[in-house]
Structure 1
Amino acid sequence: MINKTLRENNIAAGFLTLIRLYLGYAWLTAGFGKLTGGFDASGFLANAVKNPVMGPDGSPVYGWYVTFIESFALPNAALFNVMIPWGEFLVGLGLMLGCLTTAAAFFAVVMNFAFMLAGTVSHNPTDILMGVIIMAAGYNAGKFGLDHYVLPI
């Protein structure tokens, strides 16, 4: 019943638009700040390797992710210096415009999990919750946006 309301109700679409705009603005401004401010991920990545999320027994909780950062992300930091700012900016743009909203929310959740696995908590859990709600709503989340014109429904 809740899922049906979330996916079909016009009032829910209005609330989803507010959530989408709020989350989109956060991603858009974060990405724009990185695009215009000379972003470099290498320090963050090196710190994530140096200070991984530790469990109660003193071992890294996400050892596989630390290995990924150390063996792939750090050697390819230049690639991540492009992908992160553009990813954040485009996710924000998609959410703000309501264009390919479900895909934008999915990639927002993926990036939030990547940041959390690297040891940053901040507002990521809240952003993940909003992203999951938008994904669960599907088309209705972008109904008052460009999805109304872009998606063949």
Structure 2
Amino acid sequence: MIKLLRTNIVASWVLTILRIYIGWQWVEAGWEKIHTSGGFHAEGLIAGALNQGTSEKPFAYPWFHDFLAATTNNGHNAGIFNVLVPWGELLVGLGLIFGTLTLAAAFFGLLMNFTYLLSGVVSTNPTFVVIQFLILIAGFNAAKIGLDYWITPFLRKYLPFLNNDINTRRVN
């Protein structure tokens, strides 16, 4: 299965369709948050995540609760998330749509999805996780039909640590 995802041209086309679909979802979400009147505010989501546990049923992810509490002053200062969330969603979406730094975009999309899941928001996040995970497994084949077809060889030329066993030419 992994070899198919990493080398097959049909898989490349299917992954491109999935990549553009999920990229569009991220762009829409980010664009909506950026253009919300009054700006995007993550305080409500963070407060909800911080107030989930009780003494009878403690937090499912205490380490994540501690992280949110420490980075937001117990939910009172979410300024960094008010910027990172909408712009992160927009940039992840653009990267996935255009196939630019695709694996980085899929990774950061996964990071945001897991953050939402750990905060108690299910929504479409499981679907996004599966698609982005497939993109990551497929590696370069998921971005071949995109700008990474030219960007990846260029980056590998100047950053040799990016060279690996994945062939960068089109597979028929």
Same fold (TM over 0.5): yes
Normalising to structure 2: TM-score of the pair? 0.83
Equivalent residue pairs, number:
149
For the pair 1:28 / 2:27, whether they are aligned, the reply is yes
Moved over 3 A (4+): none
The runs of 5 or more residues in structure 2 that have no matched partner are 154-167
1:66 corresponds to: 65
Name the residue aligned to 2:150: 149
2:93 aligned partner: 92
Give the conservation status (yes or no) of the 8 Å contact 2:110–2:133.
Answer: yes
In the aligned structure 2, how far is the partner of 1:84 from the partner of 1:64? Answer: 20
Q: What's the C-alpha RMSD, in Å, of the aligned pairs?
A: 1.3
Taking structure 1 as the reference length, what is the TM-score of the superposition? 0.93
| C-alpha distance in 2 between matches for 1:117 and 1:44 | 11
**CA-to-aligned-CA distance 1:78-106 (integer Å, 9 cap, x gap):** 11100010100000000000001111001
Pair member with larger Rg: 2
Q: Deviations over 1:53-112 (max 9, x none)?
A: x7xx61111111112112213354111100010100000000000001111001111100
More helix by percentage = 1
Q: 2:141 is aligned with what amino acid?
A: N
Identity %: 44
Mapping of residues 47-62 of structure 1, within 5 Å: 47-52=48-53, 58-62=57-61
C-alpha distance in structure 2 between counterparts of 1:76 and 1:96, whole Å: 32
Q: Which amino acid aligns with 1:80?
A: F
The answer for the alignment partner of 1:14 in structure 2 is 13
